[in-house]
Structure 1
């Protein structure tokens, strides 16, 4: 989103180096400019204010703050001073995400999250961020979508750093990422009095086909069940964070590929949080089969889909928070939800984005319904302000 990755002393991230690989990125695009948030900061903040936004979620670029992974770059820190001060000047609450997939290339060369020292590296980053911005920023997310950068980046090679490693190595890196989350939470508690801390995994929710108790139970069970040796799972990442340990079905599936871990590891991962945060997009519809087990229903023919071909599943914004609150507590924050649209500028110079308007209305309506039914809804963040460079 920011672009200008190596301006003002910034360093390369793993995504910068990954983007240089032939055929790694669609049409060889790069993030060198992206939507030029770095150069258009004041303009973008004015757009937020004009929209009436009262809270803004953003992430810091680790490699901008620590180009070589260890030595700080004050000009990089100064950019986020401007961003945070600009938000506060416009009465917008900042929500700072510590890690949204950008790892310093210098640390990636040392193994990234595969390195047992990586939780300590992340703790030092968090301490520096807390000391610099903690007088102005109270709200933090530690890690965004760990399954995406762990499995997508280390197992399937679709994301940076683009590896295809054995599952045992991937799971080891995932455990290190959760330890990093725990250490970061501890650092924020110690350095930012009254800090609000959560995490942003993906909730992969199901919705029931009918209002029957059997279908409701089937959808709830499906949401938190692991049935394949894949890491795109709600419970694998959320259960340890909320004190439940790794899910039993995940431990059975991964068996000897799971790294060794201790009770103290699980205690560190399960630091108390202030909200149950998660990104929430599409969902499948589930019914109970004749034996009461979850059965995924066929997609609705002609149902609404985004330009990325994800189903528009607004009911997930009722049942996802409901199931999460039942399992983990609350309050509930939707840390990310949105859609891709095939927008274009009309002859009158405007973008009449009826699809987006309808999408947001559908999802907010479901959150209002959840709130009326006593589900502790605390916040919702729409993805995203700008058409950023993505995977």
Structure 2
């Protein structure tokens, strides 16, 4: 089974890439990394499937050279990786030379293989010592993060193709502080509201720190979910708008319009930190590109409560992934144009992919659903480009099967299968299909 698209269908310079994150693949027990909030979260029964953590993960810390060979051999142009705050600054204050040395080697390894480095500074690895001080609830986090940014990018910033300060601010703030599904596992509207603001303030201060180093190629990565009313009632439409406001409009509005959605501030305003309106000049630093992470849509209806946000998420009727996420490529097409209403900057699709039920049989992994998913979503990108959208690249999540956060090691998003006992890598059918598509 092959992919329907090929490299020649896209303009010269369009980047095809793949992505990972540090805690999900590196092995947090190696190289002097300190405890992060995910290590602590996983130690509490009921938070993570089987109590699994990222102590070993895919052992990318020791196997990075072979993993980068897989990126190169697939014909991919770029590799979106993240740096671990807890590896670089184990106590949140003191720099660990081994951590910086690792990322130095990793970046040089990319360049030696002709791979463009696309860095994300924070993919959810708050050092536990800083979480003890309030983490994203504490306004000082923006300065802590700027300090971390300076240490990392003083070492590797001269070789970056792109850098984004934070991966998926909605997950950092709302999913983790209101819904409680990710570390630190809070269910607190005031904590979530402050995290929603402070994560953008940290984004702005991190961007300022990199500009002070003379860096370019700086962007913001937002995750989006397409929200549709569950039925044709006015109430469902209102609730879908609230969901869209929290998930999608809040972060784009802060970064590109110096404002938060009025319909959401109506509810979250009483919980905002003092003087939040004065922070937008810092939040809305000039950028060079914007990233879209997209996976699915949700149908939104009432939850029957009188507590904000008053809504319930439901899955639609279409084919599902192993995450039970509905496959809805039109949502990606929508968000490309939606983002274009906020900025005319180049857009990168910085994450798109699926978890499927993958097994090695006779030395092969046949993941036909992933190939169909890539076909439909790349077609949605191409359609938006044909309509005039300024899309500069498409990045597949993920290179490797990895630690899928609270779901442990069950959900396989990789182009490459990982046996979590032997750590053996087996490129899947989708990897081979991609190699063929990108050669033409």
TM-score using structure 2 length? 0.78
Tell me the equivalent position of 1:237.
251
Tell me the equivalent position of 1:252.
266
Indicate the SS of the match to 1:161: coil
Indicate the SS of the match to 1:382: strand
CA distance in 2, matches of 1:143, 1:180: 8
2:389 matched to 1:367?
A: no
Write the deviation string for residues 142-192 of structure 1: whole angstroms up to 9, x where unpaired: 111122122222223221112233x12321122111110000111111103
Tell me the equivalent position of 2:396.
382
CA distance in 1, matches of 2:284, 2:149: 17
CA distance in 2, matches of 1:32, 1:282: 29
2:178 alignment partner, one of 152, 155, 160: 155
2:226 alignment partner, one of 171, 195, 205: 205
2:323 alignment partner, one of 278, 299, 308: 308
1:69 alignment partner, one of 66, 69, 92: 92
Worse overlay, 134-143 or 117-126: 134-143
Change in 2 beyond 3 A, CA 1:16/1:231: farther
C-alpha RMSD of the superposition: 2.6
2:318 matched to 1:331?
A: no
Tell me the equivalent position of 1:342.
357
Write the deviation string for residues 250-297 of structure 1: whole angstroms up to 9, x where unpaired: 1112242233335430111011111221211112589xxxxxxxxx9x
Q: Unaligned 5+ residue runs, structure 2?
A: 1-23, 301-311, 406-440
Q: CA deviation at 1:38?
A: 0.9
CA distance in 2, matches of 1:183, 1:43: 35
2:140 alignment partner, one of 109, 112, 117: 117
Q: Unaligned 5+ residue runs, structure 1?
A: 209-214, 287-295
The answer to whether the 8 Å contact 1:206/1:223 transfers is no
Q: CA deviation at 1:119?
A: 0.5
Write the deviation string for residues 24-69 of structure 1: whole angstroms up to 9, x where unpaired: 1101212111111112111101111111110110100001000111
Q: CA deviation at 1:350?
A: 0.7
Tell me the equivalent position of 2:3.
none
Change in 2 beyond 3 A, CA 1:198/1:164: same
CA distance in 1, matches of 2:191, 2:245: 13
Tell me the equivalent position of 1:94.
117
Tell me the equivalent position of 1:34.
57
CA distance in 1, matches of 2:38, 2:330: 34
2:71 matched to 1:48?
A: yes
Tell me the equivalent position of 1:190.
212
Tell me the equivalent position of 1:289.
none
CA distance in 1, matches of 2:228, 2:37: 36
Change in 2 beyond 3 A, CA 1:149/1:201: same
Indicate the SS of the match to 2:25: coil
2:198 matched to 1:176?
A: yes
Change in 2 beyond 3 A, CA 1:307/1:30: same
Q: CA deviation at 1:370?
A: 1.1
Change in 2 beyond 3 A, CA 1:170/1:207: closer
Pairwise mapping of residues 124-135 of structure 1 onto structure 2 (< 5 A)?
124-135=147-158
TM-score using structure 1 length? 0.87
CA distance in 2, matches of 1:326, 1:135: 32
The answer to whether the 8 Å contact 1:205/1:223 transfers is no
